[in-house]
Chains A and B, each alone.
Chain A
Amino acid sequence: MAKKETVVETTQAVKPTETPIMIDAKVPSGPLAEKWKNYKAHQKLVNPSNKRRLDIIVVGTGLAGASAAASLAELGFNVLNFCIQDSPRRAHSIAAQGGINAAKNYQNDGDSVYRLFYDTIKGGDYRARESNVYRLAEVSGSIIDQCVAQGVPFAREYGGLLDNRSFGGAQVSRTFYAKGQTGQQLLLGAYSALSRQVGKGAVKLYSRYEMLDVVIIDGRARGIIARNLVSGKIERFFAHAVVVGTGGYGNVFFLSTNAMGSNGSAAIQMYKKGAYFANPCYAQIHPTCIPVHGEFQSKLTLMSESLRNDGRIWVPKKKEDAEAIRKGTLKPTDLKEEDRDYYLERRYPAFGNLVPRDVASRAAKERCDAGYGVGATGLAVYLDFADSIKRLGLDVVKARYGNLFQMYEKIVDDNPYETPMMIYPAIHYTMGGIWVDYELQTSVKGLFCIGEANFSDHGANRLGASALMQGLADGYFVLPYTIQNYLADQIQVPRMSTDLPEFIEAEKEVNDKIQKLLSIQGQRSVDSIHRELGLVMWDFVGMGRNKEGLQLAIDKIKAIKKEFWTNVYIPGKADDLNVELEKALRVADFIEIGNLMARDALQREESCGGHFREEYQTPEGEALRNDDEYAYAACWKYMGEDADPVMLKERLDYEFIKRQQRNYKA
């Protein structure tokens, strides 16, 4: 039986209409474990001589973008690859610390493709598409093989075999790692594969270029408009298909663990050209980040989830102790064992400190809101390694986490070997993103979206070490197949001139927007407005959300939008390197994303994964899902500058596993 993946159109955010429009997500028929195999067996392919005649634009050089660009070029396609940084190696995937999951079962601890699939679906709070997640689990093993072949120096056991560690939301050890720098090593692997193709001339690389629009001709994506960030020149690029892997939009919060340049602009450009923006409200708040410490702060730093393998999270049991610690009259190391509340171990005995990220984050917030928080602001909890150092010895702890401890010490000026680390949740990843079908194609033909930029595999919450897995799965093993099913019908299409009216029109729109921004000449800096937006997002669309707050947020975001478009000040010129202009273009789009997030959070009257509506919780304070009414992906369709977006639905019918209340207690 084919799985029923339908998109049901509604006119209002909440009420379904009588005449739903069905949109095919192109999920192949057959049993779960056979779908991908069957798809590959029957899909259309492009023969080698035709591949040379087809151009593909890949935007982004992170794990998804670089691996896709390299793999497509290896196959023989002509690839144009764009990144905003000075080198493809700088993409933010590089900052991922902990590891990458794969169902290798090297540890003989009961892992399997099915178990990884199941953990991911459950971790995502039953809001991901079964078929995509199964495929992800299926190709996970090949990723490890590929990276090893590229010379990625994964951690190894003394016998020479690959080592594993555990991550949140799993009861097996399936996480492969390279010290605390796994993202870096995997990205450098993809970067080296990409560089090899650049050296051969199969990929033309455009670094310090920023995509500013996607060009649609006769309903198909046929190119992009990009700005040369050094000269400021706006340029047009044609391709037979456009692939976007530009990462997530977490910087809508201003303070996040994302890189300063990470942005959601490519997503908004696609959205405005007809691609649906799915589940924008699903944002992941990572429990182990260095707490906010001052107003001048520009970003937050993540401490890898891997630390929860050996660190124990606690706050004082008594409020007066917490107060004394906040005042600086009591040291955490002076607090007796019985006066400490290891709240994760207490609340979730089965998973303890390794509960999924959303659960751990909310538990930290709950303790701090109740008055047990530590640190000067009271918005921090302890992550303590004293027991591990006793059990394993200082050297082992140093070998495992040395670079993270060093990073912490440089920022906080505290030695985590001697005094417990302080951590607090921060925005880290966005599960929401551009809607894609089984083939990773958006609702615009010829426009594909991969990696964090799409909405696909993580549902309402992503498990640790799964982002790297998804980025590389999309780029190495999924897109290079599925894009051919599209391109096979494009072999007769000649390369088009970028002087076509559609290109000229798109370029003009971009230029007009830039001129408009530069002409405002108001009083506010881009950052000051971005910071204001971020505070609204954190206060009302952050870890805990409610109807009243979300409605307020929508009004506030509207006011911020007006302020931005009437009072921003951008120094410098359009045709020059102009960092403030770059930031302004991104903040304009963050404002749009913020609005979408608030609307999406408002319509979803349930709690699931990273989306916690305070009105919907169990008596124990756990997230309360509503599968009867909200088992769908919310897909937002752009209706024009002055109209409200319309929400469409992709129903998530679970054919192979049964939805349950997530339970990490027993």
Chain B
Amino acid sequence: MEKTINVTLKVWRQAGPKAQGKFETYKLNNVSTDSSFLEMMDILNEQLISERKEPVAFDHDCREGICGMCSLYINGHPHGPDGEITTCQLHMRKFKDGDTITIEPWRSAAFPVIKDLMVNRGAYDKIIQAGGFVSVNTGGVPDGNAIPISKIYADEAMDAASCIGCGACAAACKNGSAMLFVAAKVSQLALLPQGKVERATRAKAMVAKMDELGFGNCTNTGACEAECPKNISISHIARLNREFLSAKIKD
């Protein structure tokens, strides 16, 4: 049965990257608990537009938890209070009538705010560009079944590869570290024979780029794993550390 609630929203508004931001408070009534969090944001924006005010800018796209675009910091948690989901999969049934909900953008030095709740996550693309790939051109590759791969390794690589690049890990980390993101890619490719050829150069290049872009260091608090919508394990960080160290030792 459809149930509705009334909520108070404290939303971070910031006109541009250099502008001073502040919280604005909005009241929203009769929100169906079946609606998703972003549908609630749509309702807020429709309300603002009807009042001839500028709607809140926020990133979102697929709305089914896979594109990694949505990025709201809700009540102190990246992607909000529910576990193993992205913001777009959060539903209003997780909130109570009369709740005050605080909505902020990702807070991380490497993800500057563009406007309101939108941030620039180009740094993650740059890390991948530094080495998050297997250097093969199109064509001229062996048959897909030429190299058998243990199901155990393939499954583990798949778990690591589930990363959606949303940035929740760095946003959750008190040091603003991107280690879980980097580890997921390094780990995926290190587990597969196709990626092993470049494992040493990859680990070094990606870590160097991460440091250069202003991400912090990892102190193993585990906040990234706890907030990761795809449940990516910090055991991948351990593998990244092994990859990185063994690459450095060989230098």
Asked if B49 and A153 sit within 8 Å, CB to CB, the answer is no
Is B42 an interface position by the 8 A CB rule? yes
Contacts of B151 in A (CB 8 A): 156-158, 160
User: Which residue of A199, A407, A480, A528 contacts B130 across the interface (Cβ within 8 Å)?
Assistant: A199
- Within B217-235, which residues are at the interface with A (CB < 8 Å)? none
Chain A positions within 8 Å of B59 at CB level:
86
Q: Is A569 part of the contact surface with B, judged by Cβ < 8 Å?
A: yes
Given A193-B138, A195-B133, A196-B133, the answer on whether A407 and B65 have CB atoms closer than 8 Å is yes
Q: Are B91 and A260 in contact (CB under 8 A)?
A: no
Do residues B84 and A149 form an inter-chain contact, with CB atoms below 8 A?
Answer: no
> Of A180-188, A318-326, A607-615, A650-658, which binds chain B?
A180-188
Instruction: State the CA gap A104–B143 with chains docked (Å).
Output: 10
- Check if A196 sits within 8 Å of B61, measured CB to CB: no
Closest to B65 in A: A407
Q: Within residues 374 to 426 of chain A, which ones have a CB less than 8 A from any CB in chain B?
A: 406-407, 410-411, 413
Contact A261 B61 (CB under 8 A): yes
Kindly name the residue among B53, B64, B150 whose own CB sees the greatest number of chain A CB atoms within 10 A: B64
- Chain A residues whose CB sits within 8 angstroms of the CB of B157 once the complex forms: 151, 153
Which positions in A face B, CB cutoff 8 Å? 67, 70-71, 74, 85-90, 92, 94-95, 104, 106, 141-142, 144-162, 178-179, 181, 183-185, 188, 191-193, 195-196, 198-199, 205, 207, 230, 257, 259-261, 293-294, 296-299, 301-302, 406-407, 410-411, 413, 476-477, 480, 525, 527-528, 569, 571-572, 577, 579-580
Contact partners of B46 in chain A: CB under 8 A:
525, 527-528
A477 to B131, CA, bound (A): 24
Bound CA–CA A388/B131 (angstroms): 43
B38 touches A298 (CB 8 A): yes
Q: Is B20 located at the chain interface by the 8 A CB criterion?
A: no
Beta-carbon contact of A142 and B68 below 8 Å = no
Contact B148 A579 (CB under 8 A): no
CA–CA, A350 and B84, complex, Å: 40
A160→B150 CA distance, assembly (Å): 5
Which of chain B's residues 129-170 have a Cβ closer than 8 Å to chain A?
A: 129-139, 141-145, 147-151, 154-155, 157-158, 161-162, 164-165
A191 to B114, alpha carbons, bound, how many Å?
24
Shortest Cβ distance from A188 into B: residue: B161
Assess A148 versus B194: contact at CB under 8 Å? Given A86-B121, A156-B149, A571-B54.
Answer: yes
**Which of B5-13, B28-36, B97-105, B242-250 lies at the interface?**
B28-36
Give CA–CA (A148, B125) in the complex, Å.
22
Query: Which 10 pairs of residues, A with B, have the shortest CB-CB distance?
Result: A160-B148, A192-B133, A199-B129, A149-B141, A153-B158, A153-B157, A148-B144, A71-B138, A259-B61, A259-B62
In the bound assembly, the distance between CA atoms of A179 and B22 in angstroms comes to: 42
Contact B67 A85 (CB under 8 A): yes
Number of A-B contacts (CB under 8 A): 222
* B177 on interface, CB distance cutoff 8 Å: no
B133 smallest CB distance to A (angstroms):
4
Residues of B within 8 A of A193 (CB): 133, 136, 138
Closest chain A residue to B128, Cβ basis:
A195
Check if B120 is an interface residue, CB within 8 A of chain A: yes
Known contacts A199-B130, A571-B53: does B35 contact A296 (CB below 8 Å)? yes
Contacting A196 at CB < 8 Å: which of B55, B63, B135, B154?
B135
A528 nearest CB neighbor, chain B only: B46
The count of residues in chain B whose C-beta lies closer than 8 Å to any C-beta of chain A is 79
Complex alpha-carbon distance, A205 and B150, angstroms: 36
Residues of A within 8 A of B162 (CB): 179, 181, 184
Q: Which of A70, A528, A571 contacts B138 (CB 8 A)?
A: A70
Query: What are 24 A-to-B residue pairs whose CB atoms are below 8 Å?
Result: A89-B68, A89-B128, A95-B66, A145-B141, A148-B194, A149-B141, A150-B133, A151-B134, A151-B157, A153-B155, A153-B188, A156-B149, A161-B145, A179-B158, A193-B138, A196-B133, A207-B125, A259-B62, A259-B63, A260-B62, A261-B61, A298-B38, A413-B91, A477-B138
Contact B130 A90 (CB under 8 A): no
In the bound complex, what is the Cα–Cα distance between A406 and B65 (angstroms)? 11
Cα A67 to Cα B130 in complex, Å, equals 19
A153 touches B161 (CB 8 A): yes
A195 and B65 alpha carbons, distance in the complex (Å)? 23
Task: Enumerate chain B residues within 8 angstroms of A571, measured Cβ to Cβ.
Answer: 48-49, 52-55
Q: A297 to B65: give the CA distance in the assembly, Å.
A: 16
Is B237 an interface position by the 8 A CB rule? no
Establish whether residues A407 and B64, one from each chain, have CB atoms under 8 Å apart when the complex forms. Answer: yes
B67: A residues at CB distance < 8 A = 85, 90, 92, 94-95, 259
Partner of B165, one of A89, A162, A294: A89
- Does B43 sit at the interface, judged by CB under 8 A? yes
| Chain A residues within an 8 Å CB radius of B35 | 294, 296-297
In whole angstroms, what is the CA distance A95 to B52 when docked?
A: 34
The one of B63, B133, B145, B155 that contacts A162, using a Cβ cutoff of 8 Å: B145
Q: Does B74 contact A (CB under 8 A)?
A: no
Q: Measured between alpha carbons, how far is A641 from B63 in the docked complex, in Å?
A: 35
Q: Is B85 an interface residue (CB 8 A)?
A: yes
Contacts of A158 in B (CB 8 A): 151
CB of B60 closer than 8 Å to a CB of A: yes
Contacts of A142 in B (CB 8 A): 139
Closest CB of chain A to B13's CB: distance in Å? 13
Select which of B52, B91, B137 is within 8 A of A74 by beta carbon: B137
